[in-house]
Structure 1
């Protein structure tokens, strides 16, 4: 039975979180230099930035300006807390630092092409569903030449949640019993898939963004598989299908 298989992009097919962590380390270095004399620790700074960033995403989705703005908001929080004088030059430096994450070279996960080739050659229909800024996400897709696998079956949403997935499935007339969502985020990939009645593969990553880490509290109507490496996806799906149709 041929399947419709929907992939997440960031930290499923290509690396993402590690680049944000790279920039966050630089942010923490700068902020610690400015605010450690007032007794503010690096851990406190990092915790506040995470809190601010997640709060913005929960309200208005994956906007590219959220990340640099979280730097500014965190900077101003500790400025007000400590009484240290603010500086437009320092804020501009933080804004540029935050935005620089979007200029870093994208890198595929190991065996990305082989995994997609395997599924496509098996007759499955591949879809790409990602959250974020449309221009930034399409730039990544073009750099990785992913249109050859997904063609016009690419969906970029600012809010990546159950409502967004339901809209895609309904408008596309998907047969939900033969549709899969593959992704690293419990919040934006796995739970929406289960709530929409499709199969899910949780591609668990070692270092995950705090926003993505929540309990899986929905009961699957089909498959719920947990894997740790992208090349495990084709054989895992085939093994599940063999178990059904034997």
Structure 2
């Protein structure tokens, strides 16, 4: 039985824990290491971003796909296959992504513990199943959620399936996240409310235009501010 009518659904990457900034650090190291006779860092980054976007569609998300993108970027720039030594170096650059400890966003653990005394909490995140589960286990946050859902993409269909599975009432359900594309816009299309908590390092492919006049989108500056509203 639910404590209140409101159900809160949380995104994970860059909402509960840091994610994209870790990829950005690896990209910076990759650009430092990669030398090209004619292209500068901005031009190389544009090539990499195109490859990452294509691979997200074809292969999904996560550290393994990211490593693939780095290798493909090198191969496209040099018009040859990556050598064993180059692939080893790419693996070394990205080892922190594959074997890292999870760094929680400030205030997340305390806020979830408080909210869980009043509301049902669900988790909806996208990405590689094993990788996301590992991060969730490392975060020690799983016990706060009555349902954990890891999906390949977070379009409106994913939200509608969640409504059906948990018998949710969209008008009293809130999706909380940092991504306009994956969190806010599809949740609103599914009839839910949304809480937008921007993150300075949200991936460019997760950006999107929000309606400033949408009264069912709450905008907050930091995760602990949820306690002022819920």
TM more than 0.5? yes
The DSSP-based 3-state class of the residue aligned with 1:2 is coil
Is the aligned partner of 1:108 residue 2:104?
yes
Q: How many residues align?
A: 227
User: RMSD across aligned C-alpha pairs, in angstroms?
Assistant: 2.1
Contact preservation (8 Å) 1:194, 1:218: no
Structure 1 or 2: larger helix share?
1
Q: 4+ runs of 1 displaced by more than 2 Å?
A: 58-65, 84-88, 95-100, 216-220
Question: Which runs of 5 or more structure 1 residues have no equivalent in the other structure?
Answer: 239-246
Contact preservation (8 Å) 1:69, 1:95: no
- Counterpart CA distance in 1 for 2:81 and 2:170 is 56
| Superposed counterparts of 1:133-212, under 5 Å | 133-151=128-146, 153-212=147-206
Q: Tell me the TM-score normalised to structure 1 length.
A: 0.85
- Counterpart CA distance in 1 for 2:109 and 2:82 is 48
Contact preservation (8 Å) 2:47, 2:73: yes
The DSSP-based 3-state class of the residue aligned with 1:200 is strand
- Counterpart CA distance in 1 for 2:82 and 2:133 is 36
In structure 2, do the counterparts of structure 1 residues 230 and 134 end up closer, same or farther at CA, with 3 Å as the change threshold?
Answer: same
- Counterpart CA distance in 2 for 1:219 and 1:132 is 31
**Corresponding residue for 1:242?**
none
Question: Which runs of 5 or more structure 2 residues have no equivalent in the other structure?
Answer: none
Which has the higher Rg, Structure 1 or Structure 2?
A: 1
How many Å apart are 1:88 and its aligned residue? 3.0
The DSSP-based 3-state class of the residue aligned with 2:121 is strand
